[in-house]
């Protein structure tokens, strides 16, 4: 359906914006390495089904490879910055102080409690869906600590947030058209979107009206 | 109540 397509396109756009930002500017100011590492973990644990060869569709498979590949590539580009732009790298590390163990632990526990089946694949899937819902927190934390961000960085976060937000009408659509109600994705998707709500509000008030992103 | 769900979303 249209919401699902738009959501996935928005997800693709967010990654393209991020890659272009890092490659063009040759700096990583304001981008959280921790969030990017969490996304590698999210995609690698979610798409383990690639190994089972029970593929849903060519579209899904290509997208999965794209998300795993680009998330690893982003982390590599950011690590390269250590040599090519050490000032920017140090500055990023100085601000990227969120303790991700407070996300990883609870997500692992939640995956053990809430899952569709007690198998390695399903537990990893559940872990990834919980982790995705909070993976942006180091990035938002960094943003709130520095109080401002480059416009491109905010476009990236907006596109990334929009992706999960658009999955919500997709789930409503699927409930009515297929009678499908996938509770875990829906709950974590709502949680994820809620975490972005503050950001969305400031983005709408400032960036969309041509003013820079600056926190009150 | 279905216990297994096909993960056809990304």
| Cβ-Cβ contacts under 8 Å, A8 against chain B | 10
Long-range own/partner contacts, residues A147-153 (CB < 8 A, 24 or more apart): A147/A214, A147/A215, A148/A212, A148/A213, A148/A214, A148/A215, A149/A30, A149/A213, A150/A21, A150/A25, A150/A29, A150/A30, A150/A213, A151/A207, A151/A212, A151/A213, A152/A17, A152/A20, A152/A21, A152/A25, A153/A21, A153/A30, A153/A31, A153/A213
| Minimal Cβ distance to B3: which of A8, A11, A116 | A116
Average pLDDT (A62-68) is: 97
Please judge whether A116 and B9 are an interchain contact, meaning their C-beta atoms are less than 8 angstroms apart: no
Mean pLDDT confidence for A204-209: 85
Answer yes or no: is pLDDT of A106 > 80.
Answer: yes
> Which residues from chain A sit within 8 angstroms of residue B4, using beta carbons?
116-117
- CA–CA min distance A39, chain B (Å): 13
| Per-residue pLDDT at B4 | 66
Candidates A11, A60, A125; nearest CB to B8: A60
Whether residue A2 has pLDDT greater than 60: yes
Chain B interface includes A4 (CB < 8 A): yes
Average pLDDT, chain A: 94
Average pLDDT over residues A155-161: 96
Residues of A in contact with B10 (CB under 8 A): 8, 11, 60, 63-64, 67
Smallest CA–CA distance, residue A106 to chain B, in Å, is 22
Indicate whether A13 pLDDT > 60. Answer: yes
Residue B10 at interface with chain A, using a CB cutoff of 8 Å = yes
For the segment A166-196, what is each residue's pLDDT rounded down to a tens digit?
999 999 999 999 999 999 999 999 999 999 9
Given a cut of 80, is residue A137 above it in pLDDT?
yes
> For chains A and B, what is the number of CB pairs under 8 angstroms?
26
What per-residue confidence (pLDDT) applies to A95?
93
Is any Cβ of chain B less than 8 angstroms from the Cβ of A60?
A: yes
- pLDDT tier, A146 (very low <50, low <70, confident <90, very high otherwise): confident
Mean pLDDT of A82-101: 94
pLDDT of residue B1: 44
pLDDT at A75: 97
Residue with the bigger pLDDT between A208 and A98: it is A98
- Of chain A, the percentage scoring pLDDT greater than 90 comes to 85
Has residue A103 got a pLDDT over 70? yes
Nearest residue in chain B measured CA to CA from A180: B5
> For residue B2, what pLDDT band results from cuts at 50, 70 and 90?
very low
Task: Provide, as residue numbers in chain B, all residues whose Cβ is less than 8 Å from the Cβ of A123.
Answer: none
Chain CA centroid to CA A135, Å: 6
- pLDDT at residue A214 above 90? no
What's the pLDDT band for B8 if we cut at 50, 70, 90? Answer: very high
């Amino acid at each position: 359906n249209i919401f699902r397509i738009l959501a996935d396109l928005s997800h693709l756009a967010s990654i393209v914006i991020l890659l272009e930002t890092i490659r063009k500017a040759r700096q990583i100011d304001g981008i959280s390495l921790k969030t990017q590492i969490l996304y590698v973990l999210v995609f690698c644990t979610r798409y383990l089904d690639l190994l089972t060869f029970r593929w849903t569709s060519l579209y899904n498979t290509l997208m999965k490879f794209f998300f795993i590949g680009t998330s690893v590539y982003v982390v590599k580009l950011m690590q390269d910055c250590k040599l090519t732009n050490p000032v920017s790298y140090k500055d990023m590390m100085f601000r990227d102080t969120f303790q991700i163990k407070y996300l990883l632990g609870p997500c692992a526990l939640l995956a053990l409690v809430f899952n569709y089946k007690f198998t390695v694949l399903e537990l990893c899937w559940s872990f990834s869906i919980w982790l995705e819902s909070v993976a942006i927190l180091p990035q938002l934390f960094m943003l709130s600590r520095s109080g401002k961000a480059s416009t491109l960085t905010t476009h990236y976060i907006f596109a990334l947030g929009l992706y999960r937000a658009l999955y919500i009408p997709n789930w409503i659509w699927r409930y009515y058209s297929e009678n499908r109600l996938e509770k875990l994705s829906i709950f974590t998707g709502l949680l994820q979107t809620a975490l972005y709500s503050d950001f969305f509000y400031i983005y709408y008030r400032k960036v969309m009206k041509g003013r820079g992103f600056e926190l009150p | 109540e279905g216990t297994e769900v096909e993960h056809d979303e990304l």
